[in-house]
DNA sequence: TGAGGACCTTACAAAAATGTAAGTATGAAG
DNA sequence: CTTCATACTTACATTTTTGTAAGGTCCTCA
């Protein structure tokens, strides 16, 4: 899952920040390209691999599998395999995963506010010019 | 500030996600190695370049300058230069930057909860073994 | 005139994240 | 005995982020 050099300055800085700032720690877990969006879908209910894949336009199987694996390792989601053929695998949020909801909402709220603020700023500047 | 290929799949996916998910948009602005920690310090009050640098163990001048520049571009912080020698430059949060506070708190709250949950889980497993 | 401090910038290199293409395993159904 | 669908894995390539090292400017003070 990982091939990080534990001794790199990069890694050292990362763990230092995650140790001293819980926000940075949280970002270390959900702060990448796809995870928040995967969370968004799973927050609506359990889904199987293919369903998630189809929901996330542009994600590759590799990326999806990788992210799901990491999220499982980080106990955000659980994985249930049904002994059928073709295989059926269900992913769903764990309790601690579900607790991300307010965080996600906060993030979205601020994002919306920020976007509006920036767009307003641009408009003002354009008006002046 | 950026040398991203706008046409790369990577970039395409990024903008797609940021367009469809405000949380992803927010992460695009604050979700990197140093920004949240820079925010943390500036949230306590205005600071000058060197002060921030000294607060953030391990950050290089390049990284600090780069991140501050991006944060200024994204209107999270403002930059004030005093015509003195040696130079004095003060960074401080903008209103929209200050509004990150509850987001940051949420993130930290969840982070702490998650860390505890994971550690508890490890303890349980150890007890069983 | 030349050293010094604060605040950057530049060219380059290493590391990490993401994407591409092609496999693998399973067992049922045709 | 070949094809099919699902859920992955693997080897590799590209892109992006982060770090390193060395400047560069400004004016002041000695």
Percentage of residues in chain B with pLDDT exceeding 70? Answer: 95
Q: Is A102 on the interface with B (CB under 8 A)?
A: yes
The pLDDT of B35-60, averaged and rounded, is: 98
Q: Is the CB of A33 under 7 A from strand D?
A: no
Percentage of residues in chain A with pLDDT exceeding 90? Answer: 85
The pLDDT of B80-108, averaged and rounded, is: 97
- Cis (ω within 30 of 0) for the bond into A16? no
What is the rounded distance in angstroms from the CA atom of residue B13 to the CA atom of residue B7? 10
pLDDT reported for residue B4:
58
The torsion of the CA quartet B107, B110, B116, B117, rounded to 10 degrees, works out to -140
**Tokens found for residue B13:** 């996916």
Q: Is the CB of B69 under 7 A from strand C?
A: yes
**What CATH number does the domain located at A33-128 have?**
1.10.10.10
Q: Is the CB of A88 under 7 A from strand D?
A: yes
pLDDT reported for residue A106:
97
What is the rounded distance in angstroms from the CA atom of residue A28 to the CA atom of residue A11? 12
Output the DSSP codes for B32-98.
STTHHHHHHHHTTS-EEHHHHHHHSTT--HHHHHHHHHHHHHTTSEEEEEE--SS-EEEEEE-HHHH
ipTM: 0.92
The ranges assigned to domains in chain B are: 1-31, 33-128
Q: Is A64 on the interface with B (CB under 8 A)?
A: no
**Mutation to test the B interface, candidates A70, A106, A112, A119, most B Cβ within 10 Å:** A106
A61 Cα distance to chain centroid: 16
The pLDDT of A82-99, averaged and rounded, is: 96
pLDDT at position A23 over 60: yes
pLDDT reported for residue B129:
72
What single-letter DSSP state applies at residue B6? T
- Other C-beta atoms closer than 10 Å to the C-beta of B47 total 19
Distances (CA, A) of B24 to A28, A76, A92, B21, B81: 14, 17, 20, 5, 33
The pLDDT of B34-56, averaged and rounded, is: 98
- In chain B, which residues have their Cβ closer than 8 Å to the Cβ of A114? 25-26, 29, 74-75, 96, 99
pLDDT reported for residue B121:
80
């Amino acid at each position: 899952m990982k091939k990080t050099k534990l001794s790199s300055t990069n890694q050292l800085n990362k763990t230092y920040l995650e140790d001293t700032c819980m926000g940075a720690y949280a970002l270390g877990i959900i702060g990448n390209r796809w995870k928040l969006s995967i969370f968004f879908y799973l927050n609506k209910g359990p889904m199987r691999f293919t369903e998630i894949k189809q929901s996330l336009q542009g994600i590759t199987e590799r990326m999806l599998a990788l992210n799901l694996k990491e999220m499982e390792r980080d106990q955000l989601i659980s994985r249930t395999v049904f002994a059928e053929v073709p295989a059926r695998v269900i992913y769903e949020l764990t309790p601690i995963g579900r607790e991300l909801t307010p965080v996600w909402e906060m993030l979205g709220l601020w994002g919306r506010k920020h976007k509006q603020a920036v767009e307003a700023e641009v408009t003002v500047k354009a008006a002046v010019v």
